[in-house]
Amino acid sequence: MIITLTPNPSVDRAYDLDVLQLGEVNRADAVHVDAGGKGINVSRALAANDVQTLAVLPVGGHDGDLLVALLEPTGVAVRAVPLPGRTRSNVTLQVASGVTTKVNAPGPVLDDAGQAELFAAVAAAVGPGDVVVGAGSLPRGANDRFYVALGEVVRAAGAHLVLDTSGPAFDAAVAVGGLALVKPNDEELAELAGRPLPTVGDVVAAAREVVALGTTRVLVSLGSHGALLVSADAACWAGGPALVPASTVGAGDTTLAGFLAASGGDLDQVDDAECLRTAVAWGRAAVLLPGTAVPTPDLIDARAVRVDLDLDPTTPIKEL
């Protein structure tokens, strides 16, 4: 079972525009409303490809009810934890040229009691060998060690923790270790490392610093330049021909879902090259869809993805 925990979920409203004119009235060609939040996006992508998943999330107010309703037809099993406050609503403006602008609301306050309820919901669902994905930003009130505490719950159940977040919460969890996989993008990894990472060798070295602290694998998404997977003794890259994106929102979440799906949920026995190939194929399919829509099997083309196990470390990331 792959369980996701999204501590700061949202209702995502995406507007398709021909052009965006600041300070003017803009009229959308189409509007897309989806259940949002990084962990939810992972679960939606998994369910769309017939992979069993459970999404644990806090909900509150009208948009909390709408969030659960939006998930009902997706095939995602939901464990909603009612909490005070109102679930946030995020807005995405998608221009025909492929440029995406996001406005994310702060969300409700998550106090200690609310955190305890979320962890209890995870503990009630997780079992030995399961994978728990902690994903997304933390709401106001949450401690920077939120994901550290989640790790204690997950490991106590004999399960694996996968983490996709950034900032102080990411720093704290990486410092403690015990993570099966983390999925930063190159900018988030550079922030953690405290230095620019312009080349393949730079990214691999920074990822290995994370591994040295107790993380088994680091999956680094590189946007249009593919992705790198790094462990203590191996590194590989995967990518494909250039695409014109419809929306890049949620593509990294779908990439992570592809990796987990290819692993069969068993992170002790991972074929690095094939899992990375699948991850990138899922992410490439996602950017061709509007809003935070997730791809179904008929839209995913792993044959278009090339895997390189012997990259020149001096290669600039922008040339991949």
Q: Which residues contact 299 (CB under 8 A, 6 or more apart)?
A: 285, 288, 289
Burial of 11 (0-12, 13-18, 19+ CB in 10 A): buried
Cβ 69 vs Cβ 33: under 8 Å: no
Angle at 49 between CA 71 and CA 9, to 5 degrees: 30
How far is 290 from 300, CA to CA, in rounded Å? 15
As a whole number of Å, the CA-based R_g of the chain is: 19
253 annotated active-site: yes
How far is 71 from 254, CA to CA, in rounded Å? 16
| CA torsion through residues 278, 279, 282, 283, sign | negative
Of 253, 266, 268, 271, which is the active-site residue? 253
Cβ 197 vs Cβ 207: under 8 Å: no
Catalytic residues: 253
